[in-house]
Amino acid sequence: MLGWVIAGHDDYAQKMLDAIEQRFGPQSQCSAVNFWEGLSTNMLSRMMCDALHHCDSGDGVIFLTDITGEAPYRTAALMNHKHEHCEVISGVTLPLLLVMLEQRENVTSEAFRRLIVEQGGEGVTSLWHQQQKNPPFVLLHRY
């Protein structure tokens, strides 16, 4: 099963997880990380790293963040490069997560990324999709 780390500003993440658990009961391999005003990005990184390891069963972990480019998204993007089968999604909403909940058990992290971006519409994107729009800069040496 794919692990979920829901991360966002203020109590966004905890509210999302609480709403899911209120409707479907406790969710294994699922954590919320709230980025409160005044919290350092170093502490956010430590909290998200703990959540990543708590949610990982070996099948992959999906970081579900509120806003592209903000601290939770950037922190997840840095972890994505160090962890296999890790995806970063932004713009998630509660209705979208409710629709995608059963997919946690049925698909790979890459397939989940593709499905949630398709289902989510214009406001939902992923780190992978952002990288396709803006490929990394490569310096070509000419001798």
Report how far residue 56's alpha carbon sits from residue 39's, in angstroms, rounded to the nearest whole number. Answer: 25
**Residue 142's pLDDT band (cuts 50, 70, 90):** low
Q: How confident is the model at residue 44 (pLDDT cuts 50, 70, 90)?
A: very high
66 pLDDT band, cuts 50/70/90, is very high
Catalytic residues: 9
Residue 84 pLDDT grade (very low, low, confident, very high; cuts 50, 70, 90)? confident
Question: What are the extents of the domains in the chain?
Answer: 3-133
Q: In what order do the strands lie in the sheet with 125-126?
A: 30-35, 3-9, 61-65, 86-90, 125-126
CATH class of the structural domain 3-133? alpha beta
Average of pLDDT values for 54-83?
92
pTM: 0.89
